[in-house]
Structure 1
Amino acid sequence: MTAPAARDRSPRIAPGGLRQVGPFTWLLARISGRIAGTGPLALFLTLGRHRRLFHAWLWFAGRLMPGGRLPRRESELVILRVAHLRGCRYEWEHHVRLGHRAGLGPADIDRVTQGPGAEGWTPRERALLTAADRLHHHRDLDDDTWRLLREHLTEPECIELCMLASHYEMLATVIAALRIQPDAPR
């Protein structure tokens, strides 16, 4: 992933401290960072400045990942593909770490950048990545992609896939607009 230009590096809204985000978000950012192998999550400390919205978003996002029906490995593949397509360094770096924990190896992560046409994907993984690409480029799924998904996913999984990919597209937009910086490794 390429870093934003130097003029784009400073956050538009700085991550908040305990007083700005409250004890729950402050502690959650630290615990989540420890789990991720980083310092406190800048995303949480920035979005946490709008406490009500952050808490609602956190509940929703947690239902997609890690609490979704798709296996974590597959969720991480979709998220990494979106992060790659969007050029979102924050999402990419964070989910490379989480992807490793979900069973993705270096070859898998390299293949994510090559896309669904790369050798080595299972038919189900190829269907997921094809759908992520279609949603990114066309904001829709054509009938062929839908048929391919339905060969491998249940209806609830199809709904979740569409929401997962779209959610991380939205999140990449927020991260870019607010200039949220990647978390430093611990």
Structure 2
Amino acid sequence: MSTPRIAPGSLRDVGPFTWALARVFGRRSGTEPPAVFLVLGRHRRLFRGWLHFAGRMMPGGRLPRRDSEIVILRVAHLTGSEYEATQHRGLGRRAGLSDIEIDRVADGLDADGWSDRERLLLRVTDELYGTSDLSDATWADLRAELDEEACLELLLLVGHYQMLATTLRALRVPPDRLRR
């Protein structure tokens, strides 16, 4: 990856709230402070709004964390987001995904071993990524599996991580390094 287009901000650039939050999240994930926080945090008002929005879906959403992580890892794969793939491999493990399952996300819904629900989540993610829409059949299957609020959350989760992957790629943000 080439040189980042916007460097992670300093304490002065992002303010004490974001600076402290990045350090806490880095410690929890075993990495340096997340660059996503320190880059997006350079726009303080937008960062706080984004953080609130993102936190309502993950980790504070209605979907089980395991489901959310399958979706996020699939979006990371489809978009080629090295940052999100690296970040969410660890988060996926914490949510109960095995390394085999995490690797299988790249193979998609036709890979052996997925439950019907997991195949549906992958199908929804693939359709939204490919067409920005869902077929009537996929929507019917989704509504049979999830309530209305969870459906809304899933659609927003896919769109949010596509947006984030695009932003991180355009800014050339490299994955966070593991702490020593």
Query: After the TM superposition, which parts of structure 1 deviate over 3 Å for at least 4 consecutive aligned residues?
Result: none
RMSD, aligned α-carbons: 0.7
**1-structure distance, mates of 2:56, 2:159:** 14
Q: Determine if the alignment matches structure 1 residue 151 to structure 2 residue 144.
A: yes
Distance, in Å, in 1 between the alignment partners of 2:144 and 2:175 is 37
Structure 2 distance, partners of 1:180, 1:139, is 25
Matched ranges for 1:9-28 at <5 A: 9-28=2-21
TM-score, normalisation: structure 1:
0.95
Deviation of 1:95 (Å): 0.3
Could you tell me which amino acid in structure 2 is paired with residue 92 of structure 1?
A
Alignment of 1:54 onto 2:47 = yes
How far the C-alpha of 1:107 sits from its partner, in A, is 1.3
Specify which of 92, 111, 124 is matched with residue 118 of structure 1.
111
TM-score by length of 2: 0.98
Give the aligned partner of residue 135 of structure 2: 142
TM superposition shift of 1:151: 2.1
Per-residue Cα deviation, 1:10-63 (whole angstroms, up to 9, x for no partner): 110000010000000001011001111101010100000000000010000000
Count of residues in Structure 1 that have an aligned counterpart in Structure 2: 179
Secondary structure, aligned partner of 1:13? coil
Q: Which letter does structure 2 place at the counterpart of 1:82?
A: V
Consecutive unaligned residues of structure 1, counting only runs of 5 or more, are none
What is the CA–CA distance in structure 1 between the aligned matches of 2:89 and 2:100, rounded to whole Å? 12
Structure 1 letter corresponding to 2:22? A
Corresponding residue for residue 101 of structure 2: 108
- 1:166 maps to which residue? 159
Distance 1:49 1:71 in 2: 31
Matched with 1:95 is 88
% identical equivalent positions: 60
SS at match of 1:57: helix
